[in-house]
């Protein structure tokens, strides 16, 4: 015996009902994906940076400059440590497991890594000249190392700061000029070529 399907509302096509159901499923999946994606991105970062003047923490990867080092990761890590010491950059973080080295809360006076602050950081200009030379800075300088094959290493350097005016509460975001990252990378390559070089 054949059976004929019957519907309570004959004016609604069953395919339309199926379409509505799938639309609801797609919408639910989209909402879940939109919720999960930011969480996944947050977990992927090596370090989130929190500085005065920024509304919320941000991944260090947002500001890094990339370099390629012709050396295995262990040798590159040792060379990077040596350059930090040579340049007298603080290293509160020396993690060989995650491949992260540097500082997240340095407060230099006038100079950083042997260079005048205004040469390596851009905090804008005031009535007395570059704000980097007159504001109180909180500096983040991190090196991230990842193996890029058996004999190559990816070196990523993140350099950023917040500047507070000497008198008052004004806080500025300070970006890197790029000079220090270039000098640092060159010093790492030099150190690998001649381990005894200062």
| Shared-domain flag, residues 128 and 162 | yes
| Shared-domain flag, residues 15 and 111 | no
Domain that holds residue 17: 9-44
| Shared-domain flag, residues 69 and 117 | yes
More confident call, 44 vs 116: 116
Domain count, the chain: 2
Which CATH number belongs to the domain containing residue 83 in this structure?
3.30.530.50
- pTM (predicted TM-score): 0.76
Asked if residue 21 belongs to a domain, the reply is yes
| Shared-domain flag, residues 25 and 110 | no
Asked if residue 39 belongs to a domain, the reply is yes
Conformational region of residue 99, where left means phi above 0, alpha means psi within -120 to 50, and beta covers everything else: left
More confident call, 13 vs 112: 112
| Shared-domain flag, residues 55 and 27 | no
Asked if residue 14 belongs to a domain, the reply is yes
Neighbouring CB atoms inside 10 A of 35's CB total: 9
Asked if residue 198 belongs to a domain, the reply is no
| Shared-domain flag, residues 20 and 116 | no
| Shared-domain flag, residues 53 and 124 | yes
| Shared-domain flag, residues 77 and 153 | yes
In tens, the pLDDT along 19-67 reads: 434 444 333 433 344 443 444 444 488 899 999 988 899 999 999 999 9
pLDDT given at position 45: 85
CA distance 63 to 105: 16
User: Going by C-beta distance under 8 Å and a sequence separation of 6 or more, which residues neighbour residue 95?
Assistant: 101
Q: Are 138 and 52 in contact (CB under 8 A)?
A: yes
User: Going by C-beta distance under 8 Å and a sequence separation of 6 or more, which residues neighbour residue 128?
Assistant: 134
Asked if residue 54 belongs to a domain, the reply is yes
| Shared-domain flag, residues 37 and 69 | no
| Shared-domain flag, residues 125 and 173 | yes
| Shared-domain flag, residues 114 and 92 | yes
pLDDT given at position 151: 94
Identify the band that residue 127 occupies on the pLDDT scale cut at 50, 70 and 90.
confident
Closest of 113, 112, 132, 114 to residue 122, by C-alpha: 132
| Shared-domain flag, residues 103 and 170 | yes
Asked if residue 37 belongs to a domain, the reply is yes
């Amino acid at each position: 015996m054949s059976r004929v399907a019957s519907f309570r509302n004959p004016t609604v096509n069953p395919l339309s009902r199926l379409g509505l159901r799938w639309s609801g499923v797609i919408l639910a999946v989209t909402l879940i994906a939109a919720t999960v994606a930011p969480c996944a991105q947050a977990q992927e970062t090596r370090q989130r940076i929190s500085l005065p003047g920024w509304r919320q923490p941000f991944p260090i990867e947002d500001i890094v400059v990339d370099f390629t080092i012709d050396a295995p990761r262990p040798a590159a890590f040792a060379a990077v440590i040596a350059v930090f010491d040579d340049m007298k950059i603080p290293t509160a973080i020396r993690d060989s497991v995650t491949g992260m080295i540097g500082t997240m809360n340095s407060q230099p006076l006038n100079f950083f890594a042997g260079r005048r602050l205004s040469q390596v950081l851009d905090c804008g200009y005031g009535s007395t000249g570059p704000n980097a030379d007159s504001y109180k800075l909180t500096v983040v300088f991190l090196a991230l190392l990842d193996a890029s094959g058996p004999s190559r290493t990816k070196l990523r350097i993140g350099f950023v700061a917040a500047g507070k005016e000497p008198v008052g509460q004004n806080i500025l975001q300070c970006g890197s000029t790029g000079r220090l990252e270039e000098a640092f990378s060159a010093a790492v390559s030099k150190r690998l070529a001649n381990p005894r070089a200062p």
